[in-house]
A and B are shown apart, each in its own frame.
Chain A
């Protein structure tokens, strides 16, 4: 009796949760479905859900108009590059803040976060002038640097909160054994920190992939990532829902798939010190 009540409850929960999940996911699903319709079907009223003539013509047309693979490759290089560079700079900083806290550590951390509150539009013209003078406009390298800098505070904070969870006694023990600073980092800390670093890395890749202000304003053709690719579909002449959907699907699919496959790793470190 009690068992059937609890399994009935489980069934109810399952149905309810699935309904909510599908509701939240629906805009993405609808976009993907629309990308396989013709323009006329895309605006048909009442809309058809699955029973339409599936077509790939939108994808063909989008690829004819813009070089998807170059934009895709630029997005990969920029988001990976800025993440790796950011980690190289952030790991030592977070380490030292977590294990050798000084009086001002908290202030430094908060100041770092506050740099993220500057509205980017306010400094676009200065940055544009600096980039022009350094020859960094429309270069992948320039974007790697900028995206690394705008996400650095978040990376440092996330790593810091993660590192702090690592018990100090382990370090003490390692020091007793005569391990130097280097050995301490390589052999003791790194293995414990890997899940946190992986999670930070994933979050940063997602943020960098989706960044649409600097990537659009500092590039022209050569270094333009997928955010610039999507900008050319924002309101073309006439009917465009199906083409827009195809372009959107192409822009979000890689990161969506990456996110789904790595969601366990992503979630594990995504606590920002919220869990004690």
Chain B
């Protein structure tokens, strides 16, 4: 049986046009639980948009950051939607790399986004990325262990409270470690925590002449207390523990307290994954007595559209869907309210059903609202930021300093040595980058 040539030709033209009609957008995202859930629920989007096909590139955080930065900076055009942090958004928007999210559908209701979050994603009042979930940091602790140890943890604890509680809760014979904190080197790993902790100790990264301040008393107190707590009451191998490792430890019931991103609250209270789901209490990020600063930790994972995309409209449709109220409702319907992506919308925190399902809702909202990204330190500073310093050089500097503190935690050097090295590394990098600017 042979077909006439014109028929074959027509068929292939037809095949081509249908292929061209179905627009494909490639979404780069991080392998966090909330994003993986989004990927699973994305059928709801493609059902409404049969002409859009979704391709997923799911990577671990550091690899993702490297891949998308490299692609956007070289105008590679491999991705149509990128998952990036609130650190990148303003820097990239200023480079004119991102499409402004103007003309979103009306029901999107951009005014509903928490002001603290929206502020970090806007340049000149224009939104450049849509927040998928947002977080501050808080203390999560085991109510049963606290009771057993005879300690009460106030809603606004000080570091002295934390240290005393850690000591009381630690029971190494039964593999209960009083406190779990991040130790894995990286500007988004241990330095996120240590920078927030240093903020709450009244320290600052730079003075007004951009001179690094690791030789200050405040930094010394921060690092000494951090090492002291972790060495005495922390889990073994802490120098390789990041957010994910600590989450696993807490879920297994091995941590008495854990100070980390608020987004963890929904994972540690989820009975499917957590063995301690009904025994978790929450409190604000600690501060040092006399310092009015609770760390100023603010992070959001956001969906942004690079200028190099060939499908801006399809990409925008997807971003609007994934960060909409409708998506929150979809998650609630499928997985329960506690699983809704937290920390982005006022309406979520006003929803009585969410308040009922999520015991951590109020503390999360309070923590986010307490953040001042314009002034993360109580001292005078030339930068903005939060648990990071909002300059492009920070990724490199933060990671290099993080290596020093991680080495100190592994016992390779003393706190003084680590601070001295941090000072030198930062000085070098700032000099190379041409500061003060």
Q: Which A residues lie at the B interface, using CB under 8 A?
A: 43, 64-66, 125, 128-129, 132, 137-138, 216-217, 220-222, 224, 228, 231-240
B60 & A221 in contact (Cβ 8 Å cutoff): no
* Chain B interface mostly: mixed
* Chain A interface mostly: loop
A220 & B57 in contact (Cβ 8 Å cutoff): yes
A232 & B58 in contact (Cβ 8 Å cutoff): yes
Instruction: Identify which of residues 53-92 in chain B touch chain A, using a CB-to-CB cut-off of 8 Å.
Output: 55-60, 63, 67, 70, 74-79
**How far apart are A128's CB and chain B's nearest CB, in angstroms?**
6
A65 & B39 in contact (Cβ 8 Å cutoff): yes
Indicate if B252 sits at the interface (CB-CB under 8 A).
yes
Neighbouring B residues of A236 by C-beta, 8 Å: 31-33, 36, 244
Choose from B31, B79, B248 the contact partner of A220 (Cβ within 8 Å): B79
Indicate if B247 sits at the interface (CB-CB under 8 A).
yes
B74 & A129 in contact (Cβ 8 Å cutoff): yes
A238 & B247 in contact (Cβ 8 Å cutoff): yes
Minimal Cβ-Cβ distance residue in A for B54:
A221
A-B contacts, 13 of them at CB < 8 A, read A65-B36, A65-B39, A125-B74, A132-B76, A221-B26, A232-B60, A234-B63, A235-B242, A236-B31, A236-B36, A237-B32, A237-B267, A239-B251
Q: Could you give, for residues 20-57 of chain B, a 1 whenever the CB lies within 8 Å of some chain A CB and a 0 otherwise? A: 00000010100111001001100000000000000111
A237 & B55 in contact (Cβ 8 Å cutoff): no
Instruction: Identify which of residues 182-199 in chain B touch chain A, using a CB-to-CB cut-off of 8 Å.
Output: none
* Max count, chain B CB within 10 A of own CB: residue among A43, A66, A236: A236
Docked pose: A144 CA to B39 CA in angstroms: 29
Docked pose: A133 CA to B242 CA in angstroms: 38
A235 & B244 in contact (Cβ 8 Å cutoff): yes
Docked pose: A238 CA to B67 CA in angstroms: 24
Neighbouring A residues of B393 by C-beta, 8 Å: none
Docked pose: A228 CA to B40 CA in angstroms: 19
A238 & B76 in contact (Cβ 8 Å cutoff): no
Residues of B within 8 A of A (CB-CB), count: 33
Neighbouring B residues of A224 by C-beta, 8 Å: 57
A64 & B74 in contact (Cβ 8 Å cutoff): no
Indicate if B273 sits at the interface (CB-CB under 8 A).
yes
Neighbouring B residues of A228 by C-beta, 8 Å: 57
B248 & A65 in contact (Cβ 8 Å cutoff): no
- Would A221 and B55 be within 8 Å (CB), given that A43-B252, A238-B248 are in contact? yes
5 closest A-B pairs by CB: A221-B55, A232-B58, A220-B78, A234-B60, A237-B33
Choose from B26, B31, B76, B251 the contact partner of A128 (Cβ within 8 Å): B76
A132 & B74 in contact (Cβ 8 Å cutoff): yes
Choose from B39, B242, B251 the contact partner of A238 (Cβ within 8 Å): B251
- Supplied contacts A66-B56, A224-B57, 16 more A-B pairs, CB within 8 Å: A64-B40, A128-B76, A220-B26, A220-B28, A220-B67, A221-B55, A221-B57, A234-B60, A234-B63, A236-B32, A236-B33, A236-B36, A237-B243, A237-B244, A237-B267, A239-B251
Q: Could you give, for residues 121-165 of chain B, a 1 whenever the CB lies within 8 Å of some chain A CB and a 0 otherwise? A: 000000000000000000000000000000000000000000000
Docked pose: A236 CA to B36 CA in angstroms: 9
B56 & A221 in contact (Cβ 8 Å cutoff): yes
Neighbouring B residues of A66 by C-beta, 8 Å: 56, 58
Docked pose: A57 CA to B391 CA in angstroms: 44
Neighbouring B residues of A137 by C-beta, 8 Å: 76-78
Minimal Cβ-Cβ distance residue in A for B60:
A234
**How far apart are A242's CB and chain B's nearest CB, in angstroms?**
12
Neighbouring B residues of A129 by C-beta, 8 Å: 74
B63 & A231 in contact (Cβ 8 Å cutoff): yes
**How far apart are A217's CB and chain B's nearest CB, in angstroms?**
7
B267 & A217 in contact (Cβ 8 Å cutoff): no
A238 & B74 in contact (Cβ 8 Å cutoff): no
**How far apart are B189's CB and chain A's nearest CB, in angstroms?**
11
Neighbouring B residues of A43 by C-beta, 8 Å: 252
Docked pose: A26 CA to B65 CA in angstroms: 34
Docked pose: A220 CA to B59 CA in angstroms: 10
Minimal Cβ-Cβ distance residue in A for B32:
A237
Neighbouring B residues of A221 by C-beta, 8 Å: 26, 55-57
Instruction: Identify which of residues 236-285 in chain B touch chain A, using a CB-to-CB cut-off of 8 Å.
Output: 242-245, 247-248, 251-252, 267, 273
- Would A239 and B60 be within 8 Å (CB), given that A65-B36, A221-B26, A233-B31 are in contact? no
A239 & B59 in contact (Cβ 8 Å cutoff): no
Minimal Cβ-Cβ distance residue in B for A222:
B55
Neighbouring A residues of B79 by C-beta, 8 Å: 220
B78 & A138 in contact (Cβ 8 Å cutoff): yes
Neighbouring A residues of B74 by C-beta, 8 Å: 125, 128-129, 132
**How far apart are A145's CB and chain B's nearest CB, in angstroms?**
17
B58 & A65 in contact (Cβ 8 Å cutoff): yes
- Would A239 and B273 be within 8 Å (CB), given that A132-B74, A220-B79, A232-B58 are in contact? yes
B59 & A232 in contact (Cβ 8 Å cutoff): yes
Minimal Cβ-Cβ distance residue in B for A221:
B55
Neighbouring B residues of A235 by C-beta, 8 Å: 31, 60, 242, 244-245
Neighbouring A residues of B252 by C-beta, 8 Å: 43, 239
Minimal Cβ-Cβ distance residue in B for A241:
B248
**How far apart are B132's CB and chain A's nearest CB, in angstroms?**
15
Docked pose: A239 CA to B59 CA in angstroms: 17
B248 & A239 in contact (Cβ 8 Å cutoff): yes
* Max count, chain A CB within 10 A of own CB: residue among B74, B252, B267: B74
Docked pose: A224 CA to B59 CA in angstroms: 12
Neighbouring A residues of B40 by C-beta, 8 Å: 64-65
Neighbouring A residues of B28 by C-beta, 8 Å: 220
Neighbouring A residues of B57 by C-beta, 8 Å: 220-221, 224, 228
